[in-house]
Amino acid sequence: MHLVWFRNDLRTSDNSALYYACLKGPVTGIYFVTPGQWKNHQLAPIQADFIEQNLKVLAEELAALGIPLLIEEVADFSHIPARLKQIQKDHHINTIHANDEPEINEKERDQAVKKAGLPLVLYQCDCILQAGSVLTKQGGMYKVFTAFRNAWMKEVKQTDLTPLPKPADQMPSLNVSWSKNISVNYDKKSSQAWPAGETAALRRLRHFLLQDIEDYHHNRDIPSLDGTSGLSAYLKFGVISAKRCVYEVLAAFPDALDAQDSSVFSWINEIVWREFYRHLMIFNPQLCKGKNFNKLADNITWSNNPDDFKAWCEGRTGYGLVDAAMRQLNQTGWMHNRLRMVTASFLTKHLLIDWRWGEAYFREHLIDGDLASNNGGWQWAASTGCDAQPYFRIFNPIIQSQKFDPKGLFIRKYVKELNGFDNKKIHFPVNAIVEHKQARLNALDRYSVLKKG
């Protein structure tokens, strides 16, 4: 018997561990619910619900393939080796198959499992190109995104992107039962706006390719429009693979990798950013522990005013676009990408609050909160990261509002008290907790420690 250990790969197709395990013999699946670990990792309640819903779909799909799915709860990663030992004994497990993950705690977990003498075999299917494999000529990590993308693109063009199929039925003569009553032991918030399952994710992707991707470059920055793919949560939990996404794009737009000025390429570029941050984590695992990528940033003196932070969290800064974005996050569990940059810049440069406070808050609320991408995005905005925006680039929330929500449609949706304002006045601060010009000067002073030489 072979055991497939599911992690952030809640799908049956293009799943290396599942596919190759099924070639070797009868398979049982397992998923570990780890409430204590989730709490330490700031797993959002909406994510817990999304996991639960996707486990239900996965269990049904595996049952159709003759594969039972075990749901095991342990407090945290440290308890997994002992539980696996018992499962190995009870189910006569020959080999444990799993897909590798780039985060430091997850790597330490897998090392502990191997150290316990368990036969764990790891596969690659989280990234399109294995995390840590895209190297400079000197064998190091690319520190400039464009250079990484060029090297990544060159390799991808020579890579077979055909997704692995679903495995064949393992026990066609047997009717494997599955439970619809799967429940994870964690605080939950409804994720119903993101229908669960790989089929739902693929349907969403194909609708985006048919209807929206050719306008993506423009619409992606307009928060009042539904102009993005909405796939980030599915990618986070591996309900769909990044490789499948690019494969589907190229099936519809064969020249997309060569048309770098196209809207289609703009979307592929977002996949490459995801890969970049995951590759980066392999080379700099301290990023998982909240360390600044740029060591000069250790010298920034943060104000960290708790009242200002609370106002930011609750959408009460007095800047309409910032407040609307934070209320969108709090109400829906998602935030438009342009607004993630705007709110992060506001927190770190207008309020001079440590980016780690904002990163944690996002992870506690986002359905797509992912350590690598969340960390990378926050350090980019705070000018402390790898290939981050220059420290002297400080988003003006008024201009951002005028440019990307000119008629105030998005602001009015979430900041009801501004509904009576006209399209000009709605962009200007009302009872703001900080004044932009002075905040900018303060930020330039505090961030001057990032000057080189």
Q: Strand 2-6 and strand 95-99: pairing?
A: parallel
229 labelled ligand-binding: yes
Task: Considering the candidates 284, 337, 364, 442, report the single residue annotated as catalytic.
Answer: 337
Concerning whether 355 is annotated as a catalytic residue, the answer is: yes
228 labelled ligand-binding: yes
Sign (positive/negative) of CA torsion 57, 62, 63, 67?
A: negative
Contact 7, 41 (CB under 8 A): no
Concerning whether 270 is annotated as a catalytic residue, the answer is: yes
33 labelled ligand-binding: no
Task: Considering the candidates 5, 152, 355, 357, report the single residue annotated as catalytic.
Answer: 355
Give the separation between CA 204 and CA 68, rounded to whole angstroms.
Answer: 28
Task: Considering the candidates 270, 357, 374, 380, report the single residue annotated as catalytic.
Answer: 270
Concerning whether 273 is annotated as a catalytic residue, the answer is: yes
Give the separation between CA 49 and CA 313, rounded to whole angstroms.
Answer: 22
DSSP secondary-structure letter at 221?
Answer: T
Inter-CA distances, 282 with 100, 130, 276, Å = 12, 10, 10
Inter-CA distances, 347 with 84, 194, 312, 356, 395, Å = 43, 28, 7, 10, 11
273 labelled ligand-binding: yes
49 labelled ligand-binding: no
Distance linking the first and last C-alpha atoms of the chain:
61
334 labelled ligand-binding: no
Packing angle, helices 320-332 and 397-404, rounded to 10: 70
Task: Considering the candidates 273, 284, 330, 442, report the single residue annotated as catalytic.
Answer: 273
447 labelled ligand-binding: no
277 labelled ligand-binding: yes
449 labelled ligand-binding: no
Concerning whether 378 is annotated as a catalytic residue, the answer is: yes
319 labelled ligand-binding: no
Residue with tokens 């690598």: 372
Instruction: Return the active site residues.
Output: 270, 273, 302, 337, 355, 378
Residues belonging to the binding site for FAD are 216, 228-232, 267, 270-277, 368-370
Residues belonging to the binding site are 216, 228-232, 267, 270-277, 368-370
